[in-house]
């Protein structure tokens, strides 16, 4: 069997538009199906990731606010590297974003600590690796990074949090910018719309029903 070529690497605007369209059409669940039906040469996983981390209109973009930073610190001390869990508590932020933030944040922190430590005493360093002079810089950062908050996780608390999570699940805060502008442009310009629909996917070939003619793009948000 000839394996269909799978695209990797950065997503193009065209791919984004395609994905957004199909997610709105079929929902953000069956990613393998979406990947196939959309005609995107991407894996379901890749589609999901792109949606979750970038295209989802509920995402908040830009720098973390001090409140969010505090929340991340607090929750990480509680749960450790449970990024998706932490992300659920911070509307508009993804696990990937928080993870990246944490890494950067901790690297900075580790460097500051190291500076402090070396300025006070050459032998004093991180509390968890003070005796090992052979430990590398990277290892130091890693030790600092992995605070192991998981041990603090308690079953009772987890239950409680799960309940809270369920209750607050529908929190939706911010909308996304550029992709949606593109969608709006499409909405305004039906000729472009049609040409894209014609070229994007083999699915259109199967759709005898002209449902797309009256498709309301404004419901995309």
Partner DNA sequence: AAGCTAAGCAACCGCCGCTAT
Partner DNA sequence: GATAGCGGCGGTTGCTTAGCT
Tell me if 149 contacts DNA by CB under 7 A.
Answer: no
**Footprint (CB under 7 A) of DNA, residues 120-139:** none
For the bound state, the minimum distance from the C-beta of residue 142 to DNA, rounded and expressed in Å, comes to: 7
Segment near DNA (CB under 7 A); pick from 102-110, 114-122, 127-135, 174-182: 102-110
Q: In whole angstroms, how close is the CB of 52 to DNA at the nearest point?
A: 7
Q: Which stretch binds DNA (CB under 7 A): 67-75, 106-114, 185-193, 199-207?
A: 106-114
Q: Which of 40, 8, 5 is nearest to 21 (CA)?
A: 40
Q: Where are the alpha helices (DSSP H) in 12-65?
A: 13-26, 31-38, 44-50
Count of CB atoms within 10 A of residue 176's CB?
A: 19
Complex with DNA: residue 64 or 196, whichever CB lies closer? 64
- What's the CA gap between 197 and 115, in Å, rounded? 57
Q: Which stretch binds DNA (CB under 7 A): 27-35, 69-77, 170-178, 212-220?
A: 27-35
Alpha helices in 29-94 (DSSP H): 31-38, 44-50, 66-79, 83-89
Interaction mask 52-91, DNA, x per CB under 7 A: -xx--------x-----------------xxxxx------
DSSP letter for each residue of 82-128:
-HHHHHHHSTT--HHHHHHHHHHHHHHHHHHHHHHHHHH-SS---TT
Q: 15 near 184, Cβ under 8 Å?
A: no
**Which spans of this chain sit near DNA (rule: CB under 7 A)?**
7-11, 29-33, 42, 44-46, 48-50, 53-54, 63, 81-85, 95-97, 99-101, 103-105, 107-108, 111, 146
């Amino acid at each position: 069997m000839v394996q269909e070529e799978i695209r990797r690497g950065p997503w193009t605007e065209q791919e984004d538009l395609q994905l957004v369209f199909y997610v709105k059409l079929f929902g953000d669940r069956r990613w393998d199906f979406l990947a196939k039906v959309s005609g995107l040469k991407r894996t379901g996983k890749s589609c999901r990731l792109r949606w979750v981390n970038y295209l989802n209109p509920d995402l908040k973009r830009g720098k973390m606010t001090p409140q969010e930073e505090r929340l991340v610190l607090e929750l990480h001390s509680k749960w450790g590297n449970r990024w998706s869990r932490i992300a659920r508590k911070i509307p508009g932020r993804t696990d990937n974003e928080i993870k990246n933030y944490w890494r950067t944040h901790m690297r900075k922190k580790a460097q500051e600590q190291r500076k402090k430590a070396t300025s006070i005493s050459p032998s004093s360093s991180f509390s968890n690796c003070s005796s090992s002079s052979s430990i590398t810089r990277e290892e130091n950062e890693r030790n600092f990074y992995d605070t192991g908050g998981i041990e603090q996780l308690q079953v009772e608390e987890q239950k409680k949090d799960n309940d809270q999570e369920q209750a607050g699940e529908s929190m939706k805060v911010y909308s996304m910018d550029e992709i949606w502008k593109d969608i709006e442009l499409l909405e305004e310009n039906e000729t472009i719309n049609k040409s894209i629909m014609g070229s994007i996917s083999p699915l259109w070939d199967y759709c005898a029903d002209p449902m797309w003619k009256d498709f309301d793009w404004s419901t995309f948000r």
